[in-house]
A and B are shown apart, each in its own frame.
Chain A
């Protein structure tokens, strides 16, 4: 069955089916986010207590929640905040971690040792728990989440980039750059960095899945995005009190998370297969 679905796609895209399918899913969500006001039939925050807890119908595709808000419109608008959460939540740790990994891998024994000890300390904590402890230090919210995810997430990038840098810096083209008399900064940014970033970039695609599920989990627990903002994890939390009567409130936001995460996982798998890095 799956073969019949993927075969035509494979014909068009060759071996990159995963990447193609993943990209289609992700681009669909990007379109939803960009054109949310045109796609969503209702205002996501419009209260209509007379029409609360209505099951899915032609009028309300995904039903309405306890305050009579249209669940479909809220799922569409939430795409914006969840994509932002995932993207920033991947970029900040990637920038910090890659810089740390680059410095650690390039040399200077004690800097390397210091950075790697820090990595070990962070790795000793379960990352969702450390993230929650950091958020507890500040106030709940998106900014605290970004700070926490950066403090916790950089270690993966640091390790990946450091490992690559240690290999790349022995390559002939780096040696020749050194012979040519280029400075450390130029060698690091122009010669080593572009080659050392490949595994980190592939990892970023699967990291998006982690950050998206962690971010929505944090919001679900009440420590992330705050009401009345439409965010998938928060919508699931809001629907919890009505699960005996209104399954549609938590169901659709969750499906959105699963689908978007699936898209990014496919891209990650396709990339690691194509570039021969990581564990497919």
Chain B
């Protein structure tokens, strides 16, 4: 069954499973059946049971992942469309992102440490809220495991994408700007895509959160970890 490792076959499977997962979520309306999460789970089970290594899968997979970066560039369009709104609210936006960044790094470090995680893991978790390339860079800089960070970042995104709006409803976060910013800040591009599904405006505010928290996290994480006695 060597054919199962064919890169185009694996790309086709990825598209096919994702399409079915989207269909399934529309039919059932269940939030937990997040198409990204479901596709990842189905593919892992498939690869493990067919004995295909991640390296083999990634020969096709990296052609899909390749589009992640142009897609992040494309977020410049919704951002441009909301520039005027953003300019008017620059102070609350920056304050909220600064708070989100500090809380994100400090809380994950303190909780993981308190529960006995090793230094290497704690450092890998520190930049978990932000988009993969930034998170991996930060993890490398502070002595974490960049590829573990990448995996955790995807999980964080899924968590935010699935639970984010519900959590904000419970905590009375109602304004579209607050919701968008929070989704981008806490759940990077996955949160942003969940927000963009509501409307272009939400997508724009979320890409703002993704960008600002990304930049702040890149700049502040080493200092924060130093204060927390980890570096």
The answer to whether A and B interact is no
